[in-house]
Structure 1
Amino acid sequence: MPAYTGEPFSIRRVKLSNYLDDFFFDQQYQHIIGAARPKGERLPQGGQVIKISSGRKISDIDLPGMPHLSSGISWKYKDTHIIATPNIKEGVVSFIDTKTWKIIKK
């Protein structure tokens, strides 16, 4: 994989174990949080965090059901940033701490 050049609109491909069905950028645009469907499944299962500069997955997020990351929102809370994303299938909102990439509340 070519290194990120920092040039505006530079194109590069990042190989992941599965495609991202739905995704969200963190506030600093350093990470992509994406949901992917397991092979043969219709609904996304779980989330993954990709560090944009390296193109590598750095964490998994337990997001069962049908997370709708592109409808998420983020904000600064205390000493971290929180991402809130709805889950269409389960009818809940998951709150994710971007320091640990863990769900802190549903």
Structure 2
Amino acid sequence: MTAEPPDDEPDYRFTLANERTFLAWIRTALGLLAAGVAVRQLVPPFALPGATTALALVCVGLASMVAAASYPRWRRVQRAMRAGAPLPHSRMVVVLASGVLLLAVLAAVLVIIG
């Protein structure tokens, strides 16, 4: 028989910090979603056909990934805090940083080629 991990209530400040982090991920997803809509609706077409739509879809796709990963991350951190375990690492930091870099490079290339 395995012992159940402790389910201690963590200090409320840590719980609230975890919640603020979750909300920051959601704000980031909303910003990326808004950027995708704005690019598609407001940016004049680039010389490359479909480039505006592609740029918008990368924004929306990244927003979807961030939003989908934010709640499971919040839950894993909350469980770790309750169990007194080390906080889990998140691959989403690398995904988000890489995605924003991809967006920046794609936008720069599109601006340069006209």
Q: If the length of structure 2 is used for normalisation, what is the TM-score?
A: 0.24
Would you tell me which structure has more strand in proportion to its own residues?
Answer: 1
Q: If the length of structure 1 is used for normalisation, what is the TM-score?
A: 0.25
Question: Highest CA radius of gyration, 1 or 2?
Answer: 2
Asked which structure has the greater RCO (Cα within 8 Å, sep 6+), the reply is 2
